[in-house]
Structure 1
């Protein structure tokens, strides 16, 4: 079955903290702050003072309203999160969201095993679940940095709070998925707890592996890299994206990095948040890509073609 992302709702906190004011563990040394600003392109981080459930409801209701879809048309609700523990036991997050939004028909579950690459797995699952009897799925990509440890990936980025809610179905308007590629590198399954030697190997392989999976997604979509209107990336840092773009002979103005200085890395939501900021500037026929990496290590990319009615025609 074909899969279309009909629209994307978002919640982004108005509160943006300077890097030195973000409570991270371990604290950022002055020299690290300087490097993050000068080389990584980070300035501020979005930090929410609202509970995760409120953030998710705001983004999801925004997606439904934007597309003009009633809540009872949603048959599947998928919560995608990076941190294994997203909510305090024993509160049931997803049943509460279904009650608040009136999602009476929806089956619900969560996906997180591939960390920041998990949204691509959710898209795969959504495509399998949707059929003639199941009309729409809501894929809500949401994390809350409730500890100082969650607020940074050491020597890489600082993490913030935000939500992207993708309304998907088997028909337009919206953006039709043309390809989706995922590579798994289980040698790095320990993530931040891997040995110094394994981490060094991960760093050396990061850009070529990401460039490789992006190249395959472009090829399998049957387009040329120059056909891409936008690449919507995960907001890790500018250094890594300059490296990846150079390997693919892409211009950096094709890679959407405008939100990175003000939001930080909002986990798996990043590519879809970035896409949401440009929804109204897209035209029918435009090709766009989302690209991301999950600790573990999982590299993924997907290409979409904007359909008539899926952007500013």
Structure 2
């Protein structure tokens, strides 16, 4: 059974207020006030001194169990929100592998699920390891991106983007963080919402219902109930959106780990994995707990995964 062997993350040291980001992106001041007042957003983390390979490498460096096990890593999957993250000819994933000593790994990227691609990568990594049949093999899932263009600074009516990164070691089996159920659905009628010049009003209206339905599908696939979940590790879009989704689910908002929303913003595909690290550190995720990771990618893809810590 697919399991997370370890999750590490990197939060840049530089905190930037969302007002500064909004001014640079030409956002309406009223929208930024709404972000602060109702959405629970305050600042994001940025790393102007780090390029993409260094930012991803910092997350890999947070993995304490990787040193000495580099030869076991069979696959490296970089889960991306956008299809182009580096100039033509640059190979940041291959550079990260070389720096980490992952000389035996097949490295590739995943896109098309937007910010939900990280959970797709987790599921795919487990499938690849299962098909290989090597019980000692590992896969490495990388997530997080740079806000290198104005279009990637913020999503109108939704969130502000940060640059935290994460790295997750995936094993074909394990006693902890076992993947019990995964659900994913794509609503192609919202494909024009990416890049997000303006979100379709119908998408904003349906977003929470569609996410709630996907969460229920993942819970059912895991053979558990919503009441069994100790915590939800969300994508950090905003607090208001999760309050509405919890209302759809009949789930207490306090069950959702929202601590990072005010301090990291939405970090592309990395959010659920960053939240995993911080929920553990905060004592919100304890051995034996059932928990759910969830994410939404513009385009629009909804994903959820149930695991037992």
TM-score (norm 1): 0.92
Contact 2:176 2:287 in 1 (8 A): no
Contact 2:208 2:241 in 1 (8 A): yes
- For 2:46, the equivalent position in structure 1 comes to 47
- 1:285 aligned to 275, 288, 296, which one? 288
- 1:153 aligned to 152, 155, 164, which one? 155
Output the CA distance in 1 between the equivalents of 2:22 and 2:65. 35
SS state at 1:91 partner? coil
| Alpha-carbon distance, 1:69 to partner | 5.1
For each residue in 1:164-194, what CA deviation from the matched residue of structure 2 results, as whole angstroms up to 9, or x when unmatched? 1110011224300010000111111112468
| Inter-CA distance 167–194: structure 2 relative to 1 (3 Å threshold) | closer
| Alpha-carbon distance, 1:18 to partner | 0.9
20-29 or 76-85: bigger deviation: 20-29
| Alpha-carbon distance, 1:67 to partner | 6.1
For each residue in 1:13-47, what CA deviation from the matched residue of structure 2 results, as whole angstroms up to 9, or x when unmatched? 01111112226664122212211100110000111
Output the CA distance in 1 between the equivalents of 2:197 and 2:241. 21
SS state at 2:179 partner? strand
238-247 or 129-138: bigger deviation: 129-138
Instruction: Check if 1:301 corresponds to 2:300.
Output: no
| Inter-CA distance 23–193: structure 2 relative to 1 (3 Å threshold) | closer
- For 2:61, the equivalent position in structure 1 comes to 61
- For 2:101, the equivalent position in structure 1 comes to 102
TM-score (norm 2): 0.93
For each residue in 1:78-123, what CA deviation from the matched residue of structure 2 results, as whole angstroms up to 9, or x when unmatched? 1111121111221221221121111011000000111101112212
- For 1:125, the equivalent position in structure 2 comes to 124
- Structure 2 unpaired stretches of 5+: none
Contact 1:24 1:148 in 2 (8 A): no
Output the CA distance in 2 between the equivalents of 1:301 and 1:292. 6
For each residue in 1:34-71, what CA deviation from the matched residue of structure 2 results, as whole angstroms up to 9, or x when unmatched? 111001100001111211111111111322x1466521
Contact 2:22 2:28 in 1 (8 A): no
- For 2:181, the equivalent position in structure 1 comes to 179
Output the CA distance in 2 between the equivalents of 1:115 and 1:195. 15
Contact 2:257 2:279 in 1 (8 A): no
Contact 2:156 2:196 in 1 (8 A): no
- For 2:4, the equivalent position in structure 1 comes to 5
| Alpha-carbon distance, 1:195 to partner | 10
Output the CA distance in 2 between the equivalents of 1:142 and 1:45. 13
- For 2:17, the equivalent position in structure 1 comes to 18
For 1:169-208, list aligned pairs within 5 A: 169-192=171-194, 199-208=200-209
| Inter-CA distance 193–142: structure 2 relative to 1 (3 Å threshold) | closer
Output the CA distance in 2 between the equivalents of 1:80 and 1:153. 19
Output the CA distance in 1 between the equivalents of 2:223 and 2:213. 16
Aligned length: 303
Contact 2:159 2:237 in 1 (8 A): yes
- For 1:268, the equivalent position in structure 2 comes to 269
